Amino acid sequence: MIDIKLIRTQKDLTEKRLQSKVSTTSLDEIVALDIQHREALTALEGFKNRKNLIAKEVGNKKRQGLTAESEKTESHELSTVIAALEKEIALIEPLLYDLLARLPNLPFEDIPISCNPQDNVCIHEYKTQHDFPFPFKNHVELNELLHLFDFKRGAKISGSGWPVYKGLGARLEWALINFMIETHLNNGFEQWMVPLLVREQMMFGAGTLPKFSGQFYKLEDKEFPLYLVPTAEVALNALHLDEILEENELPKKYIAYTPCFRRESGAAGSNERGLIRTHQFNKVEMFAFTRPEESEAMFYTMMASAESILKGLDLHYRNMLLVTGDMSFAASKTIDIEVWLPGQNRYYEVSSVSNCTDFQARRSGIRFKRNEGSKTEFLHTLNGSGLATSRLMVALLENNQQADGSVLIPKVLQKYLNGLEVITPS
């Protein structure tokens, strides 16, 4: 959430920066409501002070044996005015809060301004696209030979977009998850296991609600109105909801593995088949809490940890700095890490690392103190996929395939598969 003080003091500049994310953004209604709210608060305070003075005057007159009818009449009138102002304020505050809650985070000033994802900037590439000396297959075609997934049975159980992993497919997926967790632990992250169902307040704190309510799964249970996590980011951010941390506790670097649940649209053509776009996928999430001045350095620490996984898997990837209009709602800066999928003839995101500054901390009430006598400050939060496995699995299969349809297992994964070096057609 954006600090209202920034809108009060730099309305035009703030609006312009927000419009670089969402072109239709206007702060006029917020400014008008804020003025009305502050004027009502000022008036309320004045009338309450006046009523307190009258109460003292009534008391003094009573002690002197005098009547105070005029004062009592004014006090009664003031009570009516005060009640009306309190009602007005009670109506304004949630409306103002809701409008503020729907504003995205401000992008950093050096982020390229555009609403077109094609303007995202490639800032780094690792290795080059694989050159096949034979006609290569996409992962769905490879699966017909290797039998790693069962898309038909997944659709029978839950509908399209819910794949079933089986045999070596399940083992390879678990090997990927273990390799990623081990990598992040070696890079100084602390592992957590978090609930897969969260309360609405936790979704709001992470910035996923109220704007994106139609994209998630919610239990139809009046007693337990919980959401399935779209990402572990929601739960990791909520770990310190309404807490005040000490400076010496920071930074905190967390990871958590969870399945993730999203109401993705179904297949959008032949290239979206299989594992490319699913309603449930596995992901190891990185999350950090830092002092404001440390968040930029932490951003690149998280990038390096995510990249080290792809380097270990020996996959070609590229880093894309997102333009303002392609960043997430809560982010001030985002770099996507994309792998090349030969069968789709395009790059797909497997990680997105974002600096959310104090945006989530304000929504979640997460602060810190620099020393004993200092005021509390909102800290900064950062998140990043480390990594999402479904498209990573596609990258492994398609880039490591051989002419006979077999797939070589990256060396870093072999220890999790009892030394298995190759998956062969059966």
Torsion of CA 203, 206, 210, 216, to 10 degrees: -50
* 3-class SS of residue 201: helix
CATH no. of 4-101: 1.10.287.40
Q: What is the pLDDT of residue 107?
A: 98
Q: Is the dihedral of CA 327, 276, 339, 196 positive or negative?
A: positive
d(CA 226, CA 86): 33
d(CA 251, CA 302): 12
Q: What is the pLDDT of residue 270?
A: 47
Task: Sheet with 376-378: list strands edge to edge.
Answer: 244-246, 367-369, 376-378
Phi/psi of residue 19, each to 5°?
Answer: -70, -20
- What are the residue ranges spanned by the domains of the chain? 4-101, 117-423
Q: What is the pLDDT of residue 271?
A: 57
Is the CATH code 3.30.930.10 the one for domain 117-423?
yes
Question: Do residues 122 and 347 lie in contact, with contact meaning Cβ atoms separated by under 8 Å?
Answer: no
Q: Are domains 4-101 and 117-423 of this chain identical in fold?
A: no
Q: How many helices (H) and strands (E) does the chain have?
A: 13, 17
Q: Which residue has the tokens 């994106």?
A: 212
d(CA 200, CA 210): 9
Give Cβ neighbours of residue 155 (< 8 Å, ≥ 6 apart).
162
CA nearest 41: which of 89, 99, 3? 89
Question: Do residues 188 and 252 lie in contact, with contact meaning Cβ atoms separated by under 8 Å?
Answer: no
pTM to 2 decimals? 0.93
d(CA 253, CA 330): 19
Identify residue 312 by its one-letter amino acid code: G
CA nearest 21: which of 323, 418, 400, 290? 323
User: For each of the chain's 426 residues, which pLDDT tens digit applies?
Assistant: 999 999 999 999 999 999 999 999 999 999 999 999 999 999 999 999 999 999 999 999 888 988 888 988 999 999 999 999 999 999 999 999 999 999 999 999 999 999 999 999 999 999 999 999 999 999 999 999 999 999 999 999 999 999 999 999 999 999 999 999 999 999 999 999 999 999 999 999 999 998 788 899 999 899 999 999 999 999 999 999 999 999 999 999 999 999 999 996 544 444 568 999 999 999 999 999 999 999 999 999 999 999 999 999 999 999 999 999 999 999 999 999 999 999 999 999 999 999 999 999 999 999 999 988 899 999 999 999 999 999 999 999 999 999 999 999 999 999 999 999 999 998
Q: What is the pLDDT of residue 265?
A: 56
